[in-house]
Structure 1
Amino acid sequence: MAAVRRWSLLVVSVLAVPVGALLALRPFASLGVLVVGVVAGLVVLGAVRLVADRPAAADRDAPDAAEPPPTPPRWWWAPGCAYLAAAAVVLLWPGPTIRVLAVAVGLVLVADGVLDVLAARGARGTARAGALLSGATSVLLGALALAWPDVTVLVVAVLFGARVLLAGLRGVGAALGRGRTPRPSVADRRARPGTWRLVGQVAALVVTLALTAAGIGIERAAHEPDDFYATPADVPDAPGRLLRSAAFTSSEVPPDALAWRILYTTTRVDGSPTVASGLVLAPRTATGAAARPADVVAWAHGTTGVTPGCAPSVLPDGLAAGAMFVADDVLARGWAVVATDYAGLGTDGPHAYLVGEPAAHDVLDAVRAAHELDDVALSDRHVVWGHSQGGGAALWTGIVAPDYAPDVDLLGVAALAPASNPSALLAHLPEVSVGALFAAYLAQGYTATYPDVRLDDVVRPGARVIVREMAHRCLAERGVVVSALTALLLDQPVWAHDDPYTGAFGARLDENVPDGAIDAPLLVAQGTADSIVVASAQDAYVAARCAAGHAVDHRSYPGLDHVALVEPDSPLIPALLAWTADRFGGAPPVDGCA
């Protein structure tokens, strides 16, 4: 009988090694692969537990011990059966999802850990300590799978896969090592040193505690809008109306400037009214009884996320989070900054990420609302700047301003590494190390904005939970590290089809290329080393505008990446400030297409 047990243990342990490796190293190949891997892992763990935990006293062929072992628990078979039952649930559940996997794995890990802790009463010495450590680790891992959404897939696939892999390796070693099992039943364990096993169990518990602490810390660090951002009961239909303002203090506001949060009305892509928030920063010379009206730089920020807590006015150092690093330079010139958060950031969502017209509405209506502030004097001269996502918003602002906001005198549009072609951006994202994160924002933004674009049609089944979880993290939050790790582990794009540009999604992407006429002088600046908005795609966009008869001042900056283009030491910054001064001063623009 001992030989049968040894060979059975060797077979299931050998099977555990490739199963665990597959789960740990390629967890996102597809939902089908993940389901098969988890089911196989549960079966392997169940079999190992049943074979390894079988009490020696129940084996007639076991050699006589020097002293009889303690009475084994009646439920020694329960952990193994629990793993097998979980495998059956996952296998038989209609339409299994990652959430089903998480619940099944989480519950069985918690149950296994509880049983280990209870069984520790029948052990002594290091065996008892090891059982308690192992049980605590299992309970915490199970709780992570059940309660921490951001690492659901990591716990189910990577950590569970590693557990299966290690169990297999231990089982192989034990089966080949004179028949010793890798995990004798707790009741059979004698008070022997077991130093290395105990060290491993302590290390596993420490890692699990670190993950738990990180999860708690990340959740506490998430930023949420306060009552200022709540939509008032009575909101006028007219866009650009100031609903609420409050003084704003931040280390980003220079001592010689004042700032305010604003809440104002604007318009969604379907024409329905909504509210948005933003910031207004002005030099002190534009305030008080002797105020000198300040010319306005309307700022459209780069990507910060797609949920309300990602608004720059909510985040600490929110201007920098949206790539506005030179607000002090703007204010030092006597200009004011009006920075929209965009609707759905700060205020209730959805946020129309990389959807052009509503972003332009947000920019223009923020300017209108800022003019209603009693505490600051603003001139009627306006220039819009935007970077990345905001660069696309700036282009759209130039297109829609004459019809949507003819009362806003727009003297220039500066689009800095703009997301001028959403389709081209999407096509390049697989080449970006964390491109899946931006893909998640794009999928969330379009499916939440357009009724004819459905997440289940756009994102493959194995990535849907991942996309939803990524979309709930802001780039400026510590929790985005989890999203970044998940993005790095993805071994294929999140999209449901090899060509995601077809159907309603592709049509909506094409709608949001800002190819209309811009009456105001246009500056497009691009770093040649940009890894997100690639220079070749920007060149194609500018060439198409020139071919259509539009004027563009196109400037390229060799060696600069996406964010480096707008950092304070970038050669673009003095050129941008000078270009803006020319617009306010009425100087003729440069046409790079001529």
Structure 2
Amino acid sequence: MPATRRPHARRWNALPALVRNAPPRVLLVIGAVVVALGVLIVSRPLTSLVLLGVYVGASAVVMGIVELVGRPASWWARSVSAAWILAGLAVLVWLGRSLELLPPVLAVLLVIGGLASIGRAVSRGGASARILALSWGVAQIAFGVLSFTWPDVTVLVLAVVFGVRTIVFGLGVFWRGAVGIRRPRDRAEPFDAQRAVRRRRVRARWAAAGRYALSLVLVATAAGGWWLNDWLDAGAPVVDAFYDPPAEVPSGHGRLIRSDAYLGRLPENGDVTRMLYTTRDAANRPAVASALVIVPKDLPPGPRPVIVWNHGTTGVAQGCAPSLRDASATKWSIPALEQALKAGWVVVASDFSGQGAPGAYPYLIGKGEARSSLDAVLAASELRTDLTLSPDTVVWGHSQGGHAALWTTAIAEDYAPGIDVLGTAVVAPVADPPALARELLSGPPNAMLSVITSWVLVPYSETYADVHLDDYIAEGSRSIVLEMTQRCPSEPGVVVSVLTALGVSEDRPLYNADLTDGALGRRLAENAMTEPLGTPMLVAWGADDEVIPPKLQRDYVQELCAEGQAVRWATYAGYDHLRPILPKSRFLPVLYSWTKNLIEGRDQVVDGCGLR
């Protein structure tokens, strides 16, 4: 009885067809090399991308040629084989760029493999083989499509999949070589025809059952992947049409474009409006930004003092705008909000340009943050005919927003001379970005640090022409780093970024240069704000801050005191990074009374430099 071709060729791996009849000693060597290659790919999925690219490209080309030469010349087989060869050549010829192209190429290969499997299911084989081929084809196409949605995960997951398959194949080759050496080739068992037929029947039944079971697993896995993708998409913020700027906007900065009701929860004592307005971005180019304006329900007569709130880190993507979140106008997001509204103050909270409205986001880029905050106040003055804003303004900020608050005060006199900043209150501020970077990078690498680093590096590279992303990231990691900036901490998709970072965080391979050196280091230093502001300051932080080391805050206060800045400061035992601004914090009465005394012009203790 003539031997039949196996209906399911290993299209992902050309090596089985090449080593099937090799001598045992050759099999031992090949097996050991292949196992080592697989271990390298699994243990270093990012740094071994060149090997992965060569492996995938060569396998695709060889398998395409084998299929093209060895199969009947049907149009389907020729088309699929030609597609394999072209895809493999694309990886090999453009290997320097294919590290970036590898995720989409792998996705395309999955789709091609899926189409080939469907073609085999339609053309030949028994029932179980056809069902398995169809299930495998549908699963490959499904995951190929999903790969375009999550390109950063694609390269890592498929690298691990290829690596594991390579290890298994290598062990199999090594075992065959070892068995071939131990068992002479000329030893043969007597042939029993009936026994051979029974064995073939039993094997056929078990093989059919295995195919059906595997088909169920493939279908369930593909369905689970689509469900997970839908769940992640449903949890992502939606930027509605309100944030799309019109073709023509008012000239100048700080001009109102449009306003609408805020869609999230409202504070007890205030009404909330979201607005779109003109500003200038970090590169001093005309831009559009969005903000929330919170006005007391019982609006007192006369001009109203203004509190400028600068929010902490919410991510750097357009959808990460606080005005898109449900609780951004409540006491859980803005400290002492209800007290401020009861006092008759108006709170203006900018998203910063690039969040909500399209544009470049100025993460820890001082002038970009500050312009957005100051222009929000100017635009708010056009919001309502019954609302008049007083020049008297106090600037508040937390974490990244603390950095923004310092810069808001620093440039207010020149950029928005109609705004009179009475004082600045900052909680756990990022006053010195280079110092923070040095402190964080001196510790052990971790996944969240990799994500936050991308939030700094990508906006800086988009803002400053001399900061080049590729100078600081490992080869082949651009898609991973860029994708990290497209997810917000509040959405479930951020888990993808964290898991991706975990997959490559060994020895911090995402970033292969000192982030405080070169052009990036110089630009970070430009955005430090350690000089005196000239108006009263209030600085507070938690003694157990897990994000920004308390040592940096102590050093900052000491530096301000040495330069003659009037600063009142406080540290709170048992408080972490967020606790000082949350309801019932011991800091909130201090913040409110300090601000109230500034607005009312009362004498108070504004300088704590002599206190230790």
TM-score category of the 2 structures, normalised to the smaller one:
0.7 to 0.9
Question: What TM-score results when the alignment is normalised by the length of structure 2?
Answer: 0.80
Which amino acid is the alignment partner of residue 416 of structure 1? V
Question: Is the CA contact (8 Å cut-off) linking 1:428 and 1:532 kept in structure 2?
Answer: no
Question: Is the CA contact (8 Å cut-off) linking 1:16 and 1:44 kept in structure 2?
Answer: no
Distance 2:50 2:292 in 1: 47
Distance 1:441 1:322 in 2: 24
1:295-323 alpha-carbon deviations (Å, 9 max, x no partner): 32211011122232222123343457994
Which amino acid is the alignment partner of residue 285 of structure 1? D
Alignment-derived partner of residue 280 in structure 1: 293
Alignment-derived partner of residue 185 in structure 1: none
Specify whether residues 365 and 103 from structure 1 end up closer, same or farther in structure 2 by C-alpha distance, changes over 3 A only.
closer
Q: 1:203 aligns with which of 217, 242, 252?
A: 217
Q: 1:360 aligns with which of 370, 388, 391?
A: 370
Specify whether residues 135 and 93 from structure 1 end up closer, same or farther in structure 2 by C-alpha distance, changes over 3 A only.
same
Question: Is the CA contact (8 Å cut-off) linking 2:315 and 2:455 kept in structure 1?
Answer: yes
Question: Is the CA contact (8 Å cut-off) linking 2:256 and 2:382 kept in structure 1?
Answer: yes
Shift of 1:477: 2.4
Q: 2:256 aligns with which of 224, 232, 242?
A: 242
Distance 2:572 2:135 in 1: 57
Shift of 1:355: 0.6
Aligned to 2:46, what secondary structure does the other structure show? coil
Shift of 1:81: 9.8
Q: Which moved more, 1:318-327 or 1:381-390?
A: 318-327
Question: Is the CA contact (8 Å cut-off) linking 1:9 and 1:175 kept in structure 2?
Answer: yes
Aligned to 1:317, what secondary structure does the other structure show? coil
Matches within 5 A, 1:85-484: 88-121=89-122, 122-165=124-167, 190-192=204-206, 195=209, 198-200=212-214, 202-219=216-233, 221-251=235-265, 253-286=266-299, 291=301, 294-319=304-329, 323-324=333-334, 327-374=337-384, 375-430=386-441, 431-484=445-498
Aligned to 2:423, what secondary structure does the other structure show? strand
Aligned to 2:476, what secondary structure does the other structure show? helix
Specify whether residues 557 and 25 from structure 1 end up closer, same or farther in structure 2 by C-alpha distance, changes over 3 A only.
farther
Aligned to 1:214, what secondary structure does the other structure show? helix
Question: Is the CA contact (8 Å cut-off) linking 1:46 and 1:82 kept in structure 2?
Answer: no
Shift of 1:466: 1.4
Specify whether residues 153 and 527 from structure 1 end up closer, same or farther in structure 2 by C-alpha distance, changes over 3 A only.
farther
Distance 2:272 2:178 in 1: 72
Q: 1:543 aligns with which of 558, 569, 580?
A: 558
Distance 2:225 2:526 in 1: 43
Structure 1 position 4 matched with structure 2 position 21: yes
Aligned to 2:322, what secondary structure does the other structure show? coil
Which amino acid is the alignment partner of residue 297 of structure 1? I
How many residue pairs match? The answer is 563
Distance 1:78 1:273 in 2: 51
Question: Is the CA contact (8 Å cut-off) linking 1:420 and 1:514 kept in structure 2?
Answer: yes
Specify whether residues 488 and 575 from structure 1 end up closer, same or farther in structure 2 by C-alpha distance, changes over 3 A only.
farther
Distance 1:195 1:219 in 2: 36
Aligned to 1:415, what secondary structure does the other structure show? strand
Distance 2:177 2:214 in 1: 20
Question: What is the alpha-carbon root mean square deviation over aligned residues?
Answer: 3.9
Specify whether residues 4 and 162 from structure 1 end up closer, same or farther in structure 2 by C-alpha distance, changes over 3 A only.
closer
Identity of matched residues, %: 36
Distance 1:325 1:172 in 2: 65
Specify whether residues 271 and 81 from structure 1 end up closer, same or farther in structure 2 by C-alpha distance, changes over 3 A only.
closer
Question: What TM-score results when the alignment is normalised by the length of structure 1?
Answer: 0.82
Which consecutive residues of structure 1, in runs of 5 or more, have no partner in the other structure?
59-70, 180-188
Specify whether residues 514 and 495 from structure 1 end up closer, same or farther in structure 2 by C-alpha distance, changes over 3 A only.
farther
Distance 1:327 1:513 in 2: 28
Alignment-derived partner of residue 593 in structure 2: 578
Distance 2:332 2:269 in 1: 22
Question: Is the CA contact (8 Å cut-off) linking 1:319 and 1:325 kept in structure 2?
Answer: no
1:337-383 alpha-carbon deviations (Å, 9 max, x no partner): 21011112122211121110121121122122222222435444322
Matches within 5 A, 1:495-514: 497-514=512-529
